[in-house]
Structure 1
Amino acid sequence: MAELRAAIALRTQQTKLWTQASDSLFEPLGEVALLATPRGYITHCAPHARERLSGEGGIVREEQLWHRSTGIRQRLHHALAQAAAGMRCVPVHIPALGGAAPSMRVDFTRADPRLGMMNETLVFVRVRFADMPADVSVELLRQAFPITQAEAQVLASLIRGETTKDIVVRTGASIHTVRKQISMLMTKMECTRQLELVSKARALF
């Protein structure tokens, strides 16, 4: 019993450290993240994230992922199930409802197994809002950083909240090309993570 309590305490501490690190990464980008069970029960949601996601048009009610639209609720729960089953990234786009809240892109991925208790599966939920900068100047990015025009265009897309796949679909470029451009951006801008790259660039706007 003592060993079990010690294991639970260790897992709780590991989860706390991980979620604190996650919050510190996403908050500067204007994004929020949370952890939930495959049935939609929230196990971690920082106060600032809960504030942004609650209320009219939001996706959090009490301790659950929820939306007032039945259709959107079904999409959220379907995405949770898909992510828990191992799908790499399951996106759900949620439109604004009468101006009550900004539109959102919600990405679901299976969380690190070490974050769950007693082999519990958790889902990592990342939320990006449409109130992120849309008028991003490619020319300003090119002038501010030692990057090419093509790299600046990719960086502008990342600032707007697009994923690598979004860029590939919209531009018709190969996934290899876009990933190489992002890698070059991180090298030239002296960043070790893509989140750091986007945060550094967003500071211009």
Structure 2
Amino acid sequence: MSNDVSFRRASDAVRAVGAGDAGWLDVVHTAREFLGADAATFLCHDKQSRSVRFVEQSGHEARLIEEYAQLYYRYDDSARRFWDAPAGTWYSSSIALKHESQNDRVFWNEFMRPNQLQQLVGVLICNDDDTLTALSIQRTHVVEPTFANTAKIAEYERQLTAAFAARRAAARASLDALSQMLDPTLEGLLIASPDGWVLAYAPGLDVLLGGNDSQLILNQRRLVHRQPEWQNRLTNSLRQVNVSRQPASLVLPDSWGHAYRTTLRPLGSQMNHGLRAAVGVRIERRSIFNVPSETALRQHFSLTQAEARLFHHLVAGLTIGECSEVLGLGTSTLRTQLSAILRKTGCHRQGELLRLATMLAP
């Protein structure tokens, strides 16, 4: 394939990502052709935890990517040496170089060499305080750099950084718009990877999950439940939604009398950062102590003031006998009011009535 054709295809893929019409996997595929590589990866390193947030790849076995993400990224100093470099910086390393650090020796001798990889070349797409995101190619032989395509590579580099910024801005704008409809003290939104990495979240989520007794927390940009059993359920649900592309719900325990109701959905192009594996998570904090007011019950169900007062106390957990003592009314009078409430709400049992009332709880 001619260099002009491969550059046009690579450039078109990057522009499509920036416009929300394609994903980063398309960029990885075309980068292999344009840059003359045996494989390519689009990779995000988390600087605080020194782990991998996400990977899109072409040309590698899944086993190799899993080994890298779980272990050998710790020894990959090829990009880490440029953690303070600006976006657009290119880096290169090969098996032919003299590797003086222990990390280099482990990375090349125990990971790259056994997988017949002899060279990697990458460009930093985004580099901030939290993450380093790069497009990297890998070759089974060492290729000496030439300056024949300098102009095209410079243009390609600019397109990559612009596309990444555009997709991140689109997700940020969508989150900000949706968050205007939420009460940040009770609910929040985030975009996560199937492993629980939080790619972005709506304003206020760190406060919602930031209580000292909160069981669901943000820990180094990961969504974590303090109880291992429920953490496993959360991770499994995220992965299931990513695979099935179907929404799911999960209720997670919190402190006594509270719980988190989570709704997980696969995301479209405006919010998925251009990644195949991105899941939207809505988090609602529920409490048994949140009881609908008498006014809300009266207005919503067209009740009398006396009926609304009884309904409010029943939702708060009192029995008819206890309501009789609190309200100073006989049980026969209260049962008559309860019958009227059941008729007006269309319920047949008191249990149905209480479940219906929870819909009005703040």
Bin the TM-score by the shorter chain.
Answer: 0.5 to 0.7
**TM-score, normalisation: structure 1:** 0.63
Task: Report 1 or 2 for greater relative contact order, CA contacts < 8 Å, sequence distance ≥ 6.
Answer: 1
**TM-score, normalisation: structure 2:** 0.38
Deviations 1:44-92 (A, max 9, x none): 1245211221343223222101111110000100110111123432211
User: Which residue of structure 2 aligns with residue 193 of structure 1?
Assistant: none
CA spacing shift, 1:96–1:117, aligned 2, 3 Å: closer
* Equivalent position SS for 1:26: coil
Q: After the TM superposition, which parts of structure 1 deviate over 4 Å for at least 4 consecutive aligned residues?
A: 153-157
CA spacing shift, 1:26–1:67, aligned 2, 3 Å: same
Is 2:238 the counterpart of 1:80? yes
Is 2:208 the counterpart of 1:52? yes
Task: Within 5 Å, give how 1:88-107 maps onto structure 2.
Answer: 88-98=246-256, 102-107=258-263
Deviation at 1:107, TM superposition (A): 1.4
The letter for the 1-side match of 2:236 is H
* Equivalent position SS for 1:25: coil
User: Which residue of structure 2 aligns with residue 30 of structure 1?
Assistant: 186
CA spacing shift, 1:138–1:97, aligned 2, 3 Å: closer
User: Which residue of structure 1 aligns with residue 292 of structure 2?
Assistant: 135
Deviation at 1:18, TM superposition (A): 0.3
- 1:109 and 1:121 map into 2 onto residues whose CA distance is 11
Structure 1 alignment gaps of length 5 or more? 161-201
Q: CA RMSD in A?
A: 3.0
Greater Rg over alpha carbons, structure: 2
Deviation at 1:143, TM superposition (A): 3.9
Deviations 1:139-182 (A, max 9, x none): 321349xxx845xx89855434xxxxxxxxxxxxxxxxxxxxxx
Q: Are 2:262 and 2:284, in contact at CA under 8 Å, matched by a contact in 1? A: yes
Deviation at 1:9, TM superposition (A): 2.3
Deviation at 1:21, TM superposition (A): 0.9
User: Which residue of structure 1 aligns with residue 172 of structure 2?
Assistant: 16
CA spacing shift, 1:16–1:141, aligned 2, 3 Å: same
Task: Within 5 Å, give how 1:138-177 maps onto structure 2.
Answer: 138-143=297-302, 149=345, 156-160=357-361
- 1:118 and 1:93 map into 2 onto residues whose CA distance is 28
The letter for the 1-side match of 2:265 is T
Q: Are 2:176 and 2:203, in contact at CA under 8 Å, matched by a contact in 1? A: no
- 2:291 and 2:266 map into 1 onto residues whose CA distance is 29
Structure 1 stretch displaced more, 89-98 or 17-26: 89-98
* Equivalent position SS for 2:181: helix
User: Which residue of structure 2 aligns with residue 177 of structure 1?
Assistant: none
Identity, in percent, stands at 20
User: Which residue of structure 2 aligns with residue 169 of structure 1?
Assistant: none
Structure 2 alignment gaps of length 5 or more? 1-155, 304-343, 347-352
Name the one with the larger helix percent.
Answer: 1
